[in-house]
Amino acid sequence: MDWTFFWQFILVLMLGLFALMALAGTILGARDIRRLMGHLRNPDENTDRE
Amino acid sequence: MPPEATEALQRTHFTAIDAVIVAVYLGLSLLIGIFVRRYARNMTAYIGADRKIGTWLGVATMLGTEMGLVTVMYSAQKGFTGGFAAFHIALIAGIATLIIGATGFIVGPLRRAEVLTIPEYYEKRFSRRVRVLGGCILAFGGILNMGLFLKVGSQFIVGITGLSAEGWALPAVMVGLLLLVVVYTALGGMISVILTDYVQFVILSFGLLIATGLAIAKLGWTDIFETTRAVLGDAGFNPVAEGSGFGWSYVLWMFVTAGLVGCAVWPTAVSRALAMESEKAVRRQYMVSSISFTIRFMIPYFWGICALVFISASPEGADLKPLFFPPEGAGHAAIDNLYALPIFLGRLLPPVLIGIITAAMIAAFMSTHDSYFLCWSSVITQDIVAPLRGRRGLSEQARIRLTRFIIFALGAYVLYWGLFYEGKDDIWDYMAVTGAIYFNGAIAVLIGGIYWKRASRAGALAALVAGCSAVFGLGPVQKLVGLQYLDPETEEWVQRLTGAEVGLLSVALALAAMVIFSLLLPDRNSAAPAKS
């Protein structure tokens, strides 16, 4: 087994996926914070989505 | 430390602008804690953010929590000494998290049980006695586990900023960082932890990617691999090759610690699952987080490897080689290889970017500390003190006050341990062993409780006690009981059993204790597993 190629492939793959996740987490995480804060300000209102 | 080492440590690009960037970030974290204090109305809000965390916020907070500065430091140390062979730990962690997310193994039933802590589940499934014992062991193992966080984190700050590694700087950094985290965590509980985790996620994610890109640009993609092969040989790539420092028992132990436990049994990770808005959100959170569970190890390993290449083969790191790898007769010992990463980053990154990366690393430091402080303090309040008070109970406000007090007490302990612990264990191995004191028993109790109808209270208690045998993997304890002996010829300590072997034996012992005692002493009224 070519360990060098294997780890190169895994490293590139994970860096790419992580970059996408960081972008999605930044944008969609901000949306989730708005919802959480909305609930905390008005805990008696039903803010459930599911 | 020799004067050349002190001089080498101080050659960094960190400037006053970078210090301002760090200060602004720290101030922001404190403000968040003060701002959200008003929302911590009851214990569910204080330690579970009212169970209203959405999937992506859950993903962000999971990375914030699980990628601490201590993770970066010990992983870089593993990469520095083990090369790419250490990547197997990252891969195992990612695959295990993906499987947990796809199946909902352990975390799904726990979320459905609507508990706030793991020991609370013990009481629902078994008895109050199991909860209190489980809480005590969890708190003991967990608090011991975070003992070195502060010291290691402060070593990074000292290394990257060029402060003196000796004298007042290290303790001063330790005290300053600790005070800040303790204050904002105690004020806002889980809500401030979640919000600061999000800010930390953003800074940390982009900081990690930018620094990695710069390291590759500086050292060269091919050169990194070729130099690693030249320095470490095949052992720097193959985790089961002779001389890799890993081997089959280690790889197997990583399946337990970095894999199953890291995401599905470790309380700080599970507390995120328990704060999610639904079981579906928990599963999605774990599936996506499998990327961050891989990356939280992989990028620091890679940085450690880059530090090794920088020191071994780069002209700019030539002055560091005799300090980290002193030739025979040099007259001084090698400097602590934990300093390799901060020194490397201090020389790699330009001003402003070094400030942002330092803020990102401090973010990593704080996000782990706040979660750990909150997790252990809430376990002590909810699972030890409150149940022991029986019918007298504790009011919601009294619980929050007590939790806040314990957070401050834990801060004092962490400071003491950081200043005085003398163990020489590899940091990751120290953490794996101390964590195992809790999780070896917890694995058996959770799996038995959720998936085996005949698991009994006696089996749970026996498994928790048997899991404590992991303590025999710690260096000082091994010396005490003869599991390590001093070789008279080499005058070095030799292990009869490695920490990994002790850990695996301890897991097997806990599982066996659960099965044997459950069969011998079954419950009269067997509870239905939470799965149903």
* DSSP string of B440-454, one letter each residue: HHHHHHHHHHHH-TT
pLDDT confidence tier of residue B530, bands split at 50, 70 and 90: very low
pLDDT confidence tier of residue B273, bands split at 50, 70 and 90: confident
Closest-approach residue (CA) in chain B for A6: B237
pLDDT of B21: 86
Nearest to B67 by CA among B441, B377, B364: B364
pLDDT confidence tier of residue B323, bands split at 50, 70 and 90: confident
pLDDT of B86: 93
Residue B105 CA to residue B14 CA, distance in Å, equals 45
- pLDDT, one tens digit per residue, over A33-47 is 888 778 777 766 654
Residue B7 pLDDT exceeds 90: no
Contact A21 B302 (CB under 8 A): no
Residue B235 pLDDT exceeds 50: yes
Nearest to B284 by CA among B97, B48, B110, B121: B97
Q: What is the ipTM of this complex?
A: 0.85
Contact A28 B55 (CB under 8 A): yes
CA angle, corner B359, sides to B353 and B361, nearest 5? 105
Q: What is the DSSP letter of B241?
A: S
List residues of A whose CB lies inside 8 A of any B CB: 3-4, 7-8, 10-11, 14-15, 17-19, 21-22, 24-26, 28-33, 35-36, 39-41, 43, 47-50
| Cβ(B228)–Cβ(B77) below 8 Å | no
Residues of chain A positioned with their CB less than 8 A from the CB of B238 = 3
Sequence letter at residue A31: R
pLDDT confidence tier of residue B531, bands split at 50, 70 and 90: very low
Q: How many CB pairs under 8 A join A and B?
A: 110
- pLDDT, one tens digit per residue, over B459-469 is 999 999 999 99
Greater confidence (B42 vs A17) lies with A17
Residue B161 CA to residue B157 CA, distance in Å, equals 6
Nearest to B32 by CA among B2, B64, B54: B64
Closest-approach residue (CA) in chain B for A8: B225
Closest-approach residue (CA) in chain B for A38: B52
B169: its two tokens: 């700087």
- Judged on CB neighbours under 10 Å (0-12, 13-18, 19+), B421 is middle
**Per-residue b or e along B19-30, where b marks 16 or more CB atoms closer than 10 Å to that residue's CB:** eebbeebbeebb
* DSSP string of A2-21, one letter each residue: -HHHHHHHHHHHHHHHHHHH
- pLDDT, one tens digit per residue, over B29-85 is 778 767 776 666 666 666 656 666 777 888 888 787 777 788 888 889 899 999 999
- pLDDT, one tens digit per residue, over B96-148 is 999 999 999 999 999 888 887 888 899 999 999 999 999 899 888 888 888 77
Residue B1 pLDDT exceeds 70: no
Residue B139 CA to residue B160 CA, distance in Å, equals 32
